[in-house]
Amino acid sequence: MAEVFDVTLNKSDTPLGLADFRDAFSQYDAVLPTVTDRLSAAAFDLAKPRTRILANYGVGFSHIDTARAVQHDMIVTNTPDVLSECTADLAMTLLLMVARRAGEGERELRARQWLGWRPTHMIGTKVSGATLGIVGFGRIGQAMAARAHFGFGMKILVQNRSAVAPETLARCNATQVTALDDLLPQCDFVSLHCPGGVANRHLINGRRLGLMRPDAFLINTARGEVVDEYALAQALWFKTIGGAGLDVYEREPLISPELIGADNLVLLPHLGSATAETREAMGFRVIANLEDFFNGHAPRDRVA
Ligand code: DGY
């Protein structure tokens, strides 16, 4: 990026505050936030920003008040495609870990409490051939379906806000279910791949957790706000669901003690896109959007 632009880097690797962002908006033509930067309406409270483009490093952009950005004539872009495979890999990691009690097993062993092989030790749930419900059938949801179908022979059910093309469903022999409430009771595993933001806040709430089977598992690699964490903690502690695997949280990086203490839960620190290959590809996608914009073209990944 420094070869092409006059770049100022946030070398401290800690998120900027609201005042820092207002300052950046008054000084720079482009600003490149990440998911940890909370760009709420207050960040845009300045009279005449200089910034013309917010090129977000990441696919999700619910941390940016895009309506306020647009009011200031700022364009917003993201980095789709390049992180779909690694995020789906991580969703499958969580699914396998929670079903086969891999986190619990490792904790037991590291605590030197393993007593050796026995027929009833740490019995998990079979993944192969089970039914997976995918909520949100965009690029990441489809990559998850491919892994589950071709790798594990899982039956795929899909819930998506618009109708999915029959040929897209056919690739994984998937069936679309219109209502989320109808999908949940049919699944052994439910994996969330829908966008975050106000529209999907607490999409998975106490009532919907109650619709899941008592031995079913919930996987969230989408956005923390999609799941009501308090309701999830209750479902885990009272064992009204089998368990959960989370990579994202409502108040990152804060994790509630109720979740930390739940044994039937696997917790990862927002690692979905965290491979060297993907993080580098995301960076090049940001540059491509900036080059589009500053060369007078429509940025390829404009979201607002
Ligand atoms: C994204 O891209 O939205 C991830 O959550 C952060 O990499």
Q: Is 272 in the pocket of ligand 1 (CB under 6 A)?
A: yes
**Whole-structure pTM value:** 0.97
Q: Do 94 and 236 fall within a single domain?
A: yes
Q: Is 33 in the pocket of ligand 1 (CB under 6 A)?
A: no
The reported pLDDT for the residue numbered 97 is 98
Q: What CATH number is given to the structural domain containing 279?
A: 3.40.50.720
**pLDDT tens per residue, the chain (304 residues)?**
999 999 999 999 889 999 999 999 999 999 999 999 999 999 999 999 999 999 999 999 999 999 999 999 999 999 999 999 999 999 999 999 999 999 999 999 999 999 999 999 999 999 999 999 999 999 999 999 999 999 999 999 999 999 999 999 999 999 999 999 999 999 999 999 999 999 999 999 999 999 999 999 999 999 999 999 999 999 999 999 999 999 999 999 999 999 999 999 999 999 999 999 999 999 999 999 999 999 999 999 999 9
Q: Do 262 and 282 fall within a single domain?
A: no
Q: Is 270 a catalytic residue?
A: yes
Kindly state whether residue 211 falls inside one of the protein's structural domains. yes
Using the 8-state DSSP alphabet, how is residue 270 labeled?
S
Q: Do 283 and 188 fall within a single domain?
A: no
Integer Cα distance of 239 and 229 in angstroms? 15
Integer Cα distance of 236 and 17 in angstroms? 35
DSSP H/E element including 133: strand 131-135
Q: Do 136 and 64 fall within a single domain?
A: no
Q: Is 35 in the pocket of ligand 1 (CB under 6 A)?
A: yes
Mutate to test the pocket of ligand 1, among 76, 81, 82, 83 (most ligand atoms within 8 A of CB): 83
First to last CA, the chain: 23
Q: Do 32 and 76 fall within a single domain?
A: yes
Mutate to test the pocket of ligand 1, among 273, 277, 278, 301 (most ligand atoms within 8 A of CB): 273
Long-range contact list for 20-24, CB < 8 A, 24+ apart? 22/46, 24/51
Containing structural domain, residue 94? 84-267
Kindly state whether residue 120 falls inside one of the protein's structural domains. yes
Q: Is 72 a catalytic residue?
A: no
Atom of ligand 1 nearest to the CA of 223: 5
The reported pLDDT for the residue numbered 13 is 84
Q: Do 156 and 238 fall within a single domain?
A: yes
For the CA atoms of 90, 145, 301, 26, what is the dihedral angle to 10 degrees?
Answer: -40
Which parts of 177-301 are beta strand (E)? 189-192, 217-220, 243-246, 265-267
Kindly state whether residue 69 falls inside one of the protein's structural domains. yes
Q: Is 59 in the pocket of ligand 1 (CB under 6 A)?
A: yes
Q: Do 65 and 186 fall within a single domain?
A: no
Q: Do 189 and 53 fall within a single domain?
A: no
Structural domain count, the chain: 2
Q: What is the identity of the amino acid at 279?
A: R
The reported pLDDT for the residue numbered 300 is 98
Q: 131: CA distance to ligand 1 center in Å?
A: 26
The reported pLDDT for the residue numbered 168 is 98
> Which among 223, 225, 229, 250 is annotated as catalytic?
223
